[in-house]
Structure 1
């Protein structure tokens, strides 16, 4: 179960992504199944340029929120997927093709019955 601080920051980040045209942002609670993150934020971008621009804008917003980014680099999302590691929150900005192919929502769903908290952000 996500703690309230992580939930609040994740909700702000997902709303920011939606406001910047990230499609279908989802907050996925992986705290019970992952040893290295509490939640994923997954969103679809519509082009490589959109991916790069959104990642840069997001890095600025993360700095405003005081959230540390552990993996900032220059070659942003050249393969259609940018992972931004903020320790307890991991953001996945993905092309539609990457999101469909890797299906992270399905991959991190635990069929053994551990409850996952999934929240879809709507504008």
Structure 2
């Protein structure tokens, strides 16, 4: 059974943590964004790491919840990929791009959800 919202966002964060994604943060955008309810942001330091994060988030989230991304935007070689689960958007970014775009600042009004330790 596919999960939605907060449970799905936390499953995405847990999958990213298991492959050692860096600085994983989850934001509740309900009431702030018409695009999605939750946003997960995480980083990797190399192309192979970014590929592994994407592979494991897709695979583990599907195994754990039955959810598959409705869409994926970007490519690993662009160093920023978004997995769109409708209720949850997962931004997998190279650490340099993440620092440059600072999505956390853009959504500064969003409530941050604590991510349990993996």
How much has 1:68 moved relative to structure 2? 2.8
- How far, CA to CA, are the matches of 1:63 and 1:17 in structure 2? 13
TM-score normalised over the length of structure 1: 0.82
- Is the 1:28–1:118 Cα contact (8 Å) retained in structure 2? yes
- How far, CA to CA, are the matches of 2:80 and 2:66 in structure 1? 24
- How far, CA to CA, are the matches of 1:120 and 1:80 in structure 2? 25
Q: Does 56-65 or 34-43 show the bigger shift?
A: 56-65
Find the residue that maps to 1:78 and give its secondary structure.
Answer: helix
Question: Structure 1 residues 69, 17: CA separation in 2 closer, same or farther (over 3 Å shift)?
Answer: same
Post-superposition Cα deviations, 1:41-85, rounded to whole Å, max 9, x if no partner, equal 001111111111221122112322111311247x73211111100
Find the residue that maps to 2:77 and give its secondary structure.
Answer: coil
Which of these two proteins has the greater Rg computed from alpha carbons?
Answer: 1
In structure 2, stretches of 5+ residues that fail to align are none
| Stretches of 4+ aligned residues off by more than 6 angstroms | none
- Is the 1:30–1:37 Cα contact (8 Å) retained in structure 2? yes
- Is the 1:24–1:120 Cα contact (8 Å) retained in structure 2? no
For residues 44-123 of structure 1, the aligned pairs below 5 Å read: 44-64=43-63, 65-72=65-72, 76-110=75-109, 116-121=110-115, 122-123=117-118
- How far, CA to CA, are the matches of 1:117 and 1:67 in structure 2? 24
Aligned length: 114
Q: Does 64-73 or 76-85 show the bigger shift?
A: 64-73
RMSD of aligned alpha carbons:
2.0
Q: Which residue of 2 aligns with 1:32?
A: 31
- How far, CA to CA, are the matches of 1:81 and 1:98 in structure 2? 8
